[in-house]
Amino acid sequence: MDLFSKRYTILVNDEPIELSIKNNKIRNAYFMDNRMTIELSEDIIKQIQTYPSTVINADKFDGNAEFTKAISKMMSQQLDLAILRNDKTTLSRFARSGLVGDDKTADFLQSINNPTGARKLLINTVDKTNTIFKVLKLDRFLDKLKEKIADTKADAFLQAFQQDQFNKSVGYDSKLHLNKQLDTELVTLASNFLKNHNIEVFDAEKVEDKQSEELFMQTALRNGFLVDDAKIAFHQTLEKNQISKYGTIEDNLNLIEKLKDNISFLEKQDAMKNKSLKDFSTISQDMTPVEKIDVLVKNEEYLNMNEAQKLRIENDVIYDDVPITDEYLNNIDTSSADMYVGGYQEFNYNDDRLKQSKSNQHQTNQSL
């Protein structure tokens, strides 16, 4: 694992492309001082990393169509962007670079946009031929082709072509696709595939799961289904399996609510016996103080208490709304009686002092 990105320079017609690579992935790519996106395979990235120098001439990759395609596409995007933005600095740099070698006229922009020029002609032709392949339903066509040829070189090329199609396919969205009607044969195929491969969950980060997804898409294509439908069928069946096993999240939340209601109902039912003070607490939650007194005076635990404890309970629970917790009940058992007895003693003491005071007053009166 790399701690830092390493910088490499690829020279194309003396124009540098700056790449910073970390963990065999391109982190940043700069061309003509603009940040760009370049997609290169791991194989090419490794070749760049193992090259003895960090400055590499693009000639080294002569004959590598994948490299040439990626770099050319990036440059083409840069050029289109510069034309759209009328970025004269970049356009003049392109004009001087020799990267746009053909169709040279006095006006660079005019030559680029010339309808009979090589660039416009190529763009239009690529568009037209895309339509031919769309009509052919390329996914099925390629797969049939793959089965028929034993040419490993062409097979690898077709594999890459097909992979490209997979990557372009629609992303699964539960809200949009869970209830989408699909061919029953495709759904059965997905169901059997998941069962046979023992797949219950899908993690997009896991290589194995991605491989399983691709394997199913290949199987579906071989059976004449489209890439998008195959992907949806895979994830839709997986999600439906999960729902039938565990229910939807909404179902589960509703179930939890119901269970809570049931528990609360059972607790209340049990509390109706009004034996303990906790029972009283449960029953009397929504009662007025007057109603609470009616229930409290029938409570077994309350009836078995001494007068001091009763008094404290009445004050606390009926008038001050003190919640009846275990801690509170323990306090009642141990301290309240003493406290109230203490209270009487205090009162008695005061009473004695009062008597003493009265007696003193009487004596004083007598002496007077």
d(CA 238, CA 194): 7
Q: How, if at all, do strands 55-57 and 6-12 pair? A: parallel
Q: Per rule CB under 8 A, is residue 156 in the interface with another protein? A: no
Scanning residues 39 to 98, which ones bind another protein (CB under 8 A)? 65, 68-73, 75-76, 79, 94, 98
Least Cβ distance, residue 62 to another protein (angstroms): 9
Of 55, 121, 253, 303, the one binding another protein (CB under 8 A) is: 121
Least Cβ distance, residue 101 to another protein (angstroms): 4
d(CA 165, CA 231): 12
Residue 318: Cβ within 10 Å count: 18
Least Cβ distance, residue 35 to another protein (angstroms): 18
Q: Per rule CB under 8 A, is residue 12 in the interface with another protein? A: yes
Q: Among the candidate windows 85-93, 115-123, 230-238, 351-359, which touches another protein by CB under 8 A?
A: 115-123
Helix axes 227-246, 207-222, angle to 10 degrees: 120
Q: Which of 279, 321, 323 is nearest to 303 (CA)?
A: 279
Least Cβ distance, residue 215 to another protein (angstroms): 22
Q: Which of 287, 319, 317 is nearest to 301 (CA)?
A: 317
Least Cβ distance, residue 41 to another protein (angstroms): 15
Q: Per rule CB under 8 A, is residue 102 in the interface with another protein? A: yes
How many chain residues interact with another protein (CB under 8 A)?
43
Residue 314: Cβ within 10 Å count: 17
Helix (H) or strand (E) holding 25: strand 25-31
d(CA 162, CA 233): 19
Least Cβ distance, residue 114 to another protein (angstroms): 12
Coil, strand, or helix at residue 318? helix
Give the residues lining the site for another protein (CB under 8 A). Answer: 12-13, 65, 68-73, 75-76, 79, 94, 98-103, 118-119, 121-123, 125-126, 128-129, 132-133, 135-136, 141-142, 144-145, 148-149, 151, 154, 157-158, 161
